[in-house]
Amino acid sequence: MLISDSNNPVYFIADVHLAEDRPLVTEGFIKFCEIMAAEKATVFIIGDLFDAWLGDDMMGDLEKQTLEAIKQITQSGGNTLFIAGNRDFLVGDEFFASSGLQKLQDTELRDISGKKILLLHGDELCILDRVHQSQRKIIRASEWKNSILAKSAEERIQLKQEYFSLSNTHVKDTKQDLLEIPVDHIEKLLVNDDLDIMIYGHIHEPKSQLVTIQGKQRQVMCLGDWGNQDSAWFGKMDGEIADLYRLSLTHLCEANNLDQAIKVKAIKVG
């Protein structure tokens, strides 16, 4: 369904990967939320906000801090919207209700600034990685999720560690080209849905590209992961396109503003 958004400033982030052993990222995200609240912004969180989510009943200090940070935005008159990633698809109704975060479909079509935009985490785009796609189908099923959430905290922690180990081994042992997103697959989505813009994350390869297909210029943006090389990445709607920005996490934490964010030039392809 095509949904039109308000006139609030619109931002996009993905792959923040909040975790207890990443305190600078956590501090940066909280500061980012304070800025978004001041702007009354609409913020799309496109998957893997958390490095892992084991159930609403296992929320600790990190998760509660995050909840309060997101709540600031919604209470200010802004909006926060969430697409699950491959690390945090177990975020549940309690967190959504308490934070004001709105749960979206895995693929979300929006009308923003008059542009038809497709938002998705991005792991479903890695169609050549048949192992991941097979696992994704299993673990996204309600029956599987319910079975995991019924386990004890200790069992879930053990399963998380096993999942991380298997995931790391899979990435290490799989040919790089099978982990990439086929260009023709993206082009097919752009044409089939007559998209103006497509925004995703997951692969941690930030870029903004302008492509002309069937006589129409379209934009493809991949958001970057937070914490890598002291970076915080975000997209922001600016007229007819979405601009991609990189900001130093250290600066974000110290200055509490986005003034030194560097715009990444959109590259024309083809």
In this structure, are 93 and 155 located in the same domain?
A: no
Residue pLDDT, tens place only, 138-183: 999 999 999 999 999 999 999 999 999 998 899 888 888 878 899 9
In this structure, are 203 and 139 located in the same domain?
A: no
Report which of residues 2 and 190 the model is more confident about: 190
In this structure, are 94 and 144 located in the same domain?
A: no
In this structure, are 65 and 136 located in the same domain?
A: no
The pLDDT of residue 179 is 81
In this structure, are 225 and 255 located in the same domain?
A: yes
Mean pLDDT of 85-99: 97
In this structure, are 163 and 48 located in the same domain?
A: no
144 sits in the region (left: phi over 0; alpha: psi -120 to 50; else beta) called: alpha
- CA distance linking residue 95 with residue 201, whole number of Å: 22
Q: Quick check: 205 pLDDT over 90?
A: yes
Residues 6+ apart with CB under 8 A from 165: none
Angle at Cα 199 formed by Cα 113 and Cα 49, nearest 5°?
Answer: 110
The pTM (predicted TM-score) of the whole model is 0.95
Report the domain count for the chain.
Answer: 2
In this structure, are 196 and 256 located in the same domain?
A: yes
63 sits in the region (left: phi over 0; alpha: psi -120 to 50; else beta) called: alpha
End-to-end CA distance of the chain: 30
160 and 183 in contact (C-beta within 8 Å)? no
In this structure, are 169 and 65 located in the same domain?
A: no
Show the domain range for 207: 3-127+181-269
Residues 6+ apart with CB under 8 A from 173: none
Residue pLDDT, tens place only, 44-72: 999 999 999 999 999 999 999 999 999 99
245 and 258 in contact (C-beta within 8 Å)? yes
The pLDDT of residue 40 is 96
